[in-house]
Each structure stands twice: as structure tokens, then as C-alpha cells.
Amino acid sequence: MGAGAILTVALAGAGLSYPLGLLSAKVRNVFATAVSALLVCLVAAAYGRSGEHVYYSGFLGLDLILRTDALAWFFAITVSLVGCLSVVFSLRYVRGREKVSFYYFALLLVNAAMLGIVFSGDLLSFFIFWEVMSWAAYLLISYNRGRALYAGLKYIVMSIIGSCAMLVGLLSLYAAHDTLVISELAERIGSRGTGFLLGVLVAFSIGFGIKSAMVPLHTWLPDAHSEAPSPFSAVLSGILIKMGIYGFVLVMYALVGLKLLLGLRGAWVSFNSVLCWLGAIGILIPTFIAVLQTDAKRLLAWSSIGQIGYIILGMGFATSLGLTGALFHTFNHAVFKALLFLAVGAVEYRTGGVRDLNELGGLIKRMPVTFACALVGGLGLIGVPLTSGFVSKWLIYKTLIAEGHPFLALAALVGTWGAILYVYKLLHNMFLGQLPEKYAHLEAAPFTMRLPLVVCGSIIILFGILPGIPLGAVGPIVGSLGLEPVQATLTGFGPQVGPLNMVSIFAAAALAVLAVLLVLRASAAPRRVAQEDSYAAGSPVPAGRYHHTVRFYDPLEGATIGYLRDWADEFYTRVAGGARGGFDGLRRIYTGDVRNYVMYIVCLLAFLIFVQMVWHIW
């Protein structure tokens, strides 16, 4: 099945979902689920295929091309998988809300546009699908109205800025080479000078950096992720911001090429090193801002910015290990962050919209499956062995050590420590501790919500024990981009990279768990106590306080809040305020009085005559 057929199904599915919803909500739900599942199957069936073809000739004098290769397939399967799971989760989440048919239309359209981006063989098609994705995402971010309208406006304004920057790069390439076909540009771009290449890269990097929420272009993300419907938050964090990563890989490696990319350096700095340091900063600051959040979705939003830093860091080194780790972590982050957003969405659904971590607790007793899956997702985010996140982070850490960058390695390590803190806070405050009385009869999440959680959790564990399965898809990408593919086995890596056998680690962990269970079985029988019969440091827990981590990070917040402000957001706010003041001043010139306009003209003429006289005197 070619890219054209996949896009036809995706776009037709989005277009038909709305009118079907006007006829029957049940038919629309079945149709949306069937289309998203069919897309997963069609993309999976395209594995290993490559080629490109013209799907529209003569658009503004240019041919529009679709291309299938290993890179496009890898991102397409990620898009279709997370998109399908978000649709299934939405079946109960949006039931009974307003404009549900519009919601499914926009959600399917976003997924279709992202598939169009990764299958585009020319930059004009890429830009068109990019804009469709951006505007459809804006509609979904603003879906809940209220504060969501502000979040949506902030997102689309920054997206427009990024699109304008990308357009500058696109037009520069067309003016220089008279084509926008990616394969043709890759052959001709070597004839251009370093200044031109750097200018094009910077222009595209602004657009891709905004979409991927790379620091300091990240300021739209915390509001957008926290205010969007939770199923779409999973799409936003899981795959939409990865379109920026796809753009980086496409332009840096497939378009400019590895040799030219490594040559973009000055006396003290190179394009790669700037990208790496931005990635390191993007790990540190957002990670500790996430620790201080009490809104579960906002915590995960800041976490996403931090995890993108790992991907940027690995990608920026332009080595086999780094790029392999970055691509693998791109997929891993899509899965475990989608899982965590959906888990928070399930809690939000059952508790009537509660996301404040200080008002939850003990939900493991009522929602055990949701807790177990969220635990797996959190462990994957941290990078605990036997999860897929461990393998991708292991590759990135190995890159940092092998390339001799101890400070960048320290930044990545500190980021992992921070991830432990906020994952602990998220899981403990929601699921552990005492169960509040108001949630004593809370029901478990519906099956259509638990199913996507179980699928994501299973993928994290499966690819953590058998990482060779996804790495088998990453290897051809790395090879096609001019690097030597990392030699991976089904269970890890051989001596060329460094011995790592995840099945052996799994066996050792299983024996340790078995030993602990045997010790517990041989010990005294546990005694059930009342929920209120709990103590901290010998003192009973106060009434109304259901877990010990309420306000747990207040001392840390007091010590670091002055340093962990979102300075980028403050800077952009000041720029916007200054620009607004300037525009207000200019607006006063246009008074509507003709006499004032005549005076402006006379003054201008007098100024020009004065300049002319001075010019002749000199």
C-alpha cells in the first residue's frame, strides 16, 4: 500500500467523520475507530517499501511528490499508532460533550496531516500539510474554551512565526535551485556556500524548534498541553511535537547531508554544538519546573520539554549512536508520554475533572489497571531497566561519554534525577497514600480507556526486553542518512557497541522478585488496619490530608523558584507588550482628520528639501 492510498484513507476518514456524526453518533464512533485502526494496518504493511511518485502536477508550476522510505515509515507508524489509541480513548472521554463530531473531524485531520508531512517528497507539500496540522491542532487546543482559548491563541501565534521562518528557508532554496523536491535539493545543495546553508538551517530550525518545544521556543506547550482534551494532549505530546524532530532530521541529514552539516562551524562554535547545548538546557530547567507543578497535565507538559532535550542532544552529535538513541527515544517518548497523559485523563474522567495532585491519592484501590500502566510509563520515562526508555537513554549516555562531553552527560544525568522526583510525585499523589472518602466508591476506568493504556504499557516492556525489534527499523534510517547503523541483536547490543543483554537483566530481575516473594510468604501474615490508622514519624496523619507528599516540595520550590522561572515566556511577553505599545503609538498618527495628513505631507516635503540642500552644501 503506497503513501497516496494511506493519505487518501486518512483525509477521507477525517472528512466523512463529521457528516456521519450528524446522522448517528454510534456510526461516527465506529467509523473513526475503524479508520484509525485501518491506518495502522496500512502503514505497517508499507514496511520496507521505498520510492516516490508525483501525485499532483503543475501546482503553482511545481510537482507535488509523495515519498516512502525508512524515515517516513518510522514516523508514520508512530503517528498512526498513537492516533489510533487516542481515538479509542476518546470514545468515552468526549461522550456527552458539545461538538463531538467536530472533535473527531479535527483529531483525524491532525493525524492525516502528520502522515502527509512524513510522506511528503517535496517541501511545498511538506509546508501545506504542516499548516493543516497547525490549524487543526489550534482548533483542538481551544476545544474546551475558557482558558483553552488563550492557550490556543498562544500556540497558533508561535506556530505562525515558525511557519514564516520556514517559508523564508523554503523560498531561499527555491530561488537558489529552482526546485523544492527533496531528493533534487539534496543533490544540488552542496554547491552553496556555508553562509547560505547556515541561514537555511537557522530558518528551518526556528520553525521546527517551536513545534518540538525546544528551549527557548517552548513557551506555548505548557498551556496547550494542560488545556487541551486529554486524548489530544497524548497526541500533542506523543507525536505532534515529534514533527519538529522529523523536520530536524529531514533537513539536517537528508537535505543538507552529514558532510556539509559537520562543516558548519566557526572558530569557536558549530551548528551541532549549539544544538547540543540547547538540548542540555532543555533537559535541566523544564525538568525541575515539572517537579514544582501541582496540575498533573502541566507537570507532564513540562516533562515533555525536558525529554525533547534528550532527543535534541542525541540528534545534535551526528553520530551513529547519538542518532539511533534520538530516534529510538522519539518513539519511546511518544508511547510513554501518551500513556501518562491518557492515565491522567482516565483519572480526570472518573473524578469529575480533578487534576490537582494535592486533592487526589489512594486511587490504586479503585483504578489498579490505570495505576499499573502509569507506573510502567513512569519507569519508561525515567529509563529504568526492562523498559524501552532505558535502552534509548543508554545509547544517548553512551554517546555523551564516547564523545568526551562530561558536562552534557552530567546535565542528562541530573535530568534523570529530576524525572525520578516528578514521576514519584505524579504517581504517589494520584494513586498511593490514603483514599479520600469522596472517592471511596469511584469506578475503574472504562474498557475503552484501559485498552490504550495496556497497549502502551505492553509496548514499553516488550521493546525494553527485546529492543532489537524497533532498532531493526531504526538501523536502515541511520544507514540511509550516511552513518554506519548500530549493530543490535534482538535482546540488546554486541561487543561493537558495548555488551547489553536485556533478557539476562530480565532473568536476574525475575529471580530477585521471586526471592522477595518467598521471603514475604515466609514472614508473618499481614494485618489489615483502618485507613485512618496511619502515621508519619510517629504522629498520626492529620484529618483531610490523605498522603504525605502534599506540599512535599515546598522547601525546594522556595530555594529554586527564583532560578526556575520561565524566563523565555517572560521575555516574549515583554516583547509583545513593547510591540503593542509601539503599535498603539503608531495608531495615534491615523487620526482620520485630513488636515493632519496634509501636515504630515508638508513636513515630509520640508524634510526632503532640507536634506537636499545639506547634500549640495557638502
Domain that holds residue 590: 568-617
pTM (2 decimals)? 0.88
Which pLDDT score is estimated for 249?
Answer: 92
Count structural domains, the chain.
1
Which pLDDT score is estimated for 267?
Answer: 60
Residue 518 inside a domain? The answer is no
| 13's grid cell | 476518514
Which pLDDT score is estimated for 292?
Answer: 86
Return the half-sphere exposure (C-beta side, CA atoms, 13 A cut-off) of residue 499: 2
347-370 per-position pLDDT tens digit = 999 988 888 888 888 888 889 999
Buried b (16+ CB within 10 A) or exposed e, 231-255: bbbbbbbbbbbbbbbbbbbbbbbbb
Residue 613 inside a domain? The answer is yes
Residue 474 contacts by C-beta under 8 Å, 6 or more apart in sequence? Answer: 74, 324, 327, 328, 486
Burial of 16 (0-12, 13-18, 19+ CB in 10 A): middle
The percentage of the chain sitting over the pLDDT mark of 90, rounded to a whole number, equals: 41
The answer to whether 442 and 363 are in contact (CB under 8 A) is: yes
Residue 610 inside a domain? The answer is yes
Residue 581 inside a domain? The answer is yes
The answer to whether 338 and 238 are in contact (CB under 8 A) is: yes
Peptide bond into 495 cis (omega under 30): no
Using CA atoms in the order 66, 68, 73, 79, what is the torsion angle rounded to 10 degrees? 10
| 360's grid cell | 487526589
Name the nearest CA neighbour of 244 among 148, 133, 335, 365.
133
Q: CA angle, corner 384, sides to 383 and 390, nearest 5? A: 45
Report the chain's C-alpha Rg in angstroms.
Answer: 27
Residue 295 inside a domain? The answer is no
The DSSP string of 470-515 is HHHHHHHHHHHTTSPPP-EETTEE-TTT--EEHHHHHHHHHHHHHH
SS3 546: coil
Residue 406 inside a domain? The answer is no
Residues of the chain under the 70 pLDDT cut: 1, 266-267, 529-553, 556-557, 560-565, 591, 615-618
Extended beta strands in 88-156, E state? none
Residue 612 inside a domain? The answer is yes
Rounded Cα gap, residues 330 and 469, in angstroms: 15
SS3 122: strand
Which pLDDT score is estimated for 163?
Answer: 92
Residue 396 inside a domain? The answer is no
The answer to whether 413 and 533 are in contact (CB under 8 A) is: no
Which pLDDT score is estimated for 550?
Answer: 67
| 339's grid cell | 500513556
